[in-house]
Structure 1
Amino acid sequence: MIEPRLASHMLVSGLIRQAAAHGSFAAVLRKGDRIAGAVLLLRREKGRNPALFERFPSLDGSGKWSEVTIEDIEKEEKISEILDRRAARDPDIWILELDVPSAERFTDILASMN
């Protein structure tokens, strides 16, 4: 049986709260559809090492976060291009930036949302 999906604005709100609880910073870069908008996460570690993650639905109705790309800070424009293209194709998309002290904290934040 498929479980109902969490509304996008609730997922984003939960991620922001979990980030704060784990000593991280979160900011909404783009608001999308409150109910069904896709969510992209731009993760940084202490302002560096940007990586892009997207939540894909799984067969049991839950979501699984998958890494879309990793870029060196010198190639910041590539991530901006990806985000701009996605927003142009999908006006309902949410883009959230998380700046975490370590990759482990990021993993903890995502695990707390499953």
Structure 2
Amino acid sequence: MSTPRLPAALEVSSMIRLAEAAGGFAMVLRKGEPDSGTILVVILDNQGLGQVFERLPQADGTRRWSLSKRQDPDIKQEFEAFLTRRMAQDPDLWVIELTIADGERFILHGV
């Protein structure tokens, strides 16, 4: 059974405020469709390496956050190419970046 979805702009704003309130930094790299746009969350660690998470549909109709891409420190341009491709594929896509310790908690646990 699918659950109602928050507007993408509201969800993005909430993630940014939570990250900043916890002492981190957050910014929108790309604005997407305000109501139903897909959201990619780039989480940077203290070395500047990123991971990309996105909410994917599950067999039971729910949507769950999943790791889509992890930056390889030896091939950093591959990570940027992944983001560029995803932005080109989906004009409604939001991309936000969180720079904070344990940033996954803001998406995986709904903090």
Q: State the match for 2:23 in structure 1.
A: 23
Q: Does the CA-based 8 Å contact 2:43-2:104 persist in structure 1?
A: no
3-state secondary structure, aligned to 1:48 = coil
Corresponding residue for residue 109 of structure 1: 106
Amino acid across the alignment from 2:104: T
Structure 1 contact 47–99 (Cα < 8 Å) conserved:
no
| CA–CA separation in structure 2 for the residues paired with 1:78 and 1:33 | 26
Distance 1:41 1:108 in 2: 12
Please say if residues 48 and 73 of structure 1, whose CA atoms lie closer than 8 Å, have aligned partners that are also in contact: no
Q: Mapping of 1:34-53 within 5 angstroms?
A: 34-53=34-53
The TM-score with structure 1 as length reference comes to 0.83
Q: CA deviation at 1:60?
A: 5.7
Shift of 1:9: 0.4
Q: Structure 2: state its 5+ residue gaps.
A: none
8 A contact 2:19–2:26 mirrored in 1: yes
Q: Which amino acid aligns with 2:38?
A: A
- Cα offset for 1:57? 3.6
Residue correspondence of structure 1 range 49-68 to structure 2 within 5 A: 49-58=49-58, 59=60, 61=62, 63-68=63-68
Query: 1:3 offset after TM fit, Å?
Result: 2.8
Q: Which amino acid aligns with 1:71?
A: Q
- Secondary structure, aligned partner of 2:83: helix
1:40 Cα offset (Å)? 0.4
Q: Which amino acid aligns with 2:10?
A: M
Q: CA RMSD in A?
A: 1.8
Percent sequence identity over matched residues? 34
- Cα contact 2:72–2:79 (8 A) shared by 1: no
CA distance in 1, matches of 2:42, 2:104: 13
- Contiguous gaps of at least 5 residues in structure 1: none
Q: TM-score, normalised by structure 2?
A: 0.85
Length, aligned pairs only: 109
Displacement after TM superposition at 1:112 (Å): 3.1
Q: Secondary structure at the match of 1:106?
A: coil
